[in-house]
Each structure stands twice: as structure tokens, then as C-alpha cells.
């Protein structure tokens, strides 16, 4: 069954340091997408980065990179050079392609606090 | 601006009442998804529509129903409201099908049941 697990309810990081947010997933579908979203205190959902199951290279978007380890079924988000504005909830999500429903399933989230 | 419009932004209503949340997807997107986010919780998938047809159902209560209209906008109807239904309700849209793009979220409707 489609499942996303985020085991870190909360994380602290010092400003300008790098931080890794963990995400593991479970699927039997060979074709899927993995997504990370940021939810600041204002509530909106902001898309950060995407990784396809067949992508050979790890995705990067500015200060965000996705450490994709397919065999371990993990898709960790790495934020480099943390900024105070990075303080937010972060959600990992997955979308199966060949299952036919194409719905997005989200993990429980990790609350990141960046310290000055 | 994601291009997804949700109305209203805030809604306060009494227990036992019925409300309708509205969502206009991004231009060209055929899929609409509804999610419920209770306080400090993750996003619970409720239901998905694709081009007017129900595609997938999550943990949606029988008191809740939804539909997608020919112009692709969607409505989520919540009836016999209980205090526990207070939450942030998100609508998201995507092109749908096998196109592996991100879902674009609206700003959400914050429902408070008193």
C-alpha cells in the first residue's frame, strides 16, 4: 500500500547550517513521483522539489536537494545554508503513476525551526 | 499565486450546520484533490476527481460529499458538522493522468465549528 513516513516531528538547525529531513516511502508501483512541500505558519502549501522514480540523478532546486536512495526507499530533503525563513512545516509526498488513481499521499510532516 | 482559488478563506459555523467549500483549479488542470488538515496534523486525503468523475476516495466521512462540475470547479459539502470537523481544508489541482507534476494548492479554507 502507498505510504509515506516522516519520523522526525521536529528539528532544530542553526542559521547557515545544512539540515536533512527524512522521508521513507512504501510502494509496489514501479513508476512514482516524490515531492516536498513547505508550509509556513501562514498556512499555504509551497512546492519545493520533485524526484521521479526513474530519474538517475538527485533533484536540486537552489538550496534544496533531494537525496534519493531508491533501494532504501528514502527521499530525504537537504536544505543547505539554512535561513530564518526556512522555519516551517515540511511535508514529503508521493504519487503513484501506474496504479491509476494518481493521488498524492502526504507524510505527517517535520517542523523545522532555524535558530539565529 | 498557485492559480488555484478556494472560497471562502474563513468560515465559522455552528454544530449541526451544513457548509459548502468551493475550489477553482488552475486553468487546464483536470484533476482536483481535497485534503483536510486538522491542527498541527498532516494532510489527510479526502477525495479526488478527474474531469468530472470521482477517481479516488480516502478517509472521507459519509457526512461529507464532493463533486466536480463540467467547468471543472469542485465543491466539498460538509453536513451535520461537529466540533472535530474544525480544520484547514485544502483543494489542489494537477493536470492529472500520467503527467508527473506537482499538485498546486489553494490557500485553504479554515473552517471553525463552534
Q: Is residue A10 less than 8 Å (CB to CB) from chain B?
A: no
Option in A44, A101, A106 nearest B43 (CB): A106
Interface test with A, best of B4, B6, B103, B112 (most A CBs within 10 A): B103
pLDDT in tens, A26-44: 998 888 999 999 999 999 9
Q: By mean pLDDT, which of A35-39, A43-47, A94-98, B81-85 is the weakest?
A: A94-98
Band the pLDDT of B32: cuts 50, 70, 90: very high
Option in A47, A95, A107 nearest B42 (CB): A107
* Contact flag A101-B48 (C-beta cutoff 8 Å): yes
Q: Is residue A33 less than 8 Å (CB to CB) from chain B?
A: yes
pLDDT at A4 over 80: yes
| CB contacts < 8 A (A, B) | 62
HEC profile for chain A?
Answer: CCEEECCCCEEEEECCCCEEECCEEECCCCCEEEEEEEECCCCCCEEEEEEECCCCCCCEECCEEEEEECCCCEEEEEECCCCHHHCEEEEEEEEECCCCCCCEEECCCEEEEEEC
Interface test with A, best of B2, B42, B96 (most A CBs within 10 A): B42
Band the pLDDT of B84: cuts 50, 70, 90: very high
Amino acid at each position: 500500500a502507498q505510504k509515506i513516513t516522516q519520523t522526525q516531528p521536529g528539528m532544530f538547525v542553526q542559521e547557515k547550517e545544512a539540515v536533512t529531513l527524512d522521508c521513507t516511502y512504501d510502494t509496489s508501483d514501479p513508476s512514482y513521483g516524490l515531492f516536498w512541500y513547505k508550509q509556513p505558519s501562514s498556512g499555504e502549501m509551497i512546492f519545493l522539489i520533485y524526484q521521479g522514480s526513474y530519474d538517475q540523478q538527485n533533484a536540486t532546486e537552489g538550496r534544496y536537494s533531494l537525496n534519493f536512495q531508491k533501494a532504501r526507499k528514502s527521499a530525504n530533503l537537504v536544505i543547505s545554508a539554512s535561513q530564518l525563513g526556512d522555519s516551517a512545516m515540511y511535508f514529503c509526498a508521493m504519487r503513484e503513476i501506474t496504479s491509476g488513481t494518481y493521488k498524492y499521499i502526504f507524510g505527517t510532516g517535520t517542523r523545522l525551526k532555524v535558530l539565529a | 499565486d498557485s492559480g488555484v482559488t478556494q472560497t471562502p478563506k474563513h468560515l465559522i459555523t455552528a454544530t449541526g450546520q451544513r457548509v459548502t467549500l468551493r475550489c477553482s483549479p488552475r486553468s487546464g488542470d483536470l484533476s482536483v484533490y481535497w485534503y483536510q488538515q486538522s491542527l498541527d496534523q498532516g494532510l489527510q486525503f479526502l477525495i479526488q476527481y478527474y474531469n468530472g468523475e470521482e477517481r479516488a476516495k480516502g478517509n472521507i466521512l459519509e457526512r461529507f460529499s464532493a463533486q466536480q462540475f463540467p467547468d471543472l470547479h469542485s465543491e466539498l459539502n460538509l453536513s451535520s458538522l461537529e466540533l472535530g470537523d474544525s480544520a484547514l481544508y485544502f483543494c489542489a489541482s494537477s493536470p492529472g493522468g500520467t503527467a508527473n507534476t506537482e499538485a498546486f494548492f489553494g490557500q485553504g479554507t479554515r473552517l471553525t465549528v463552534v
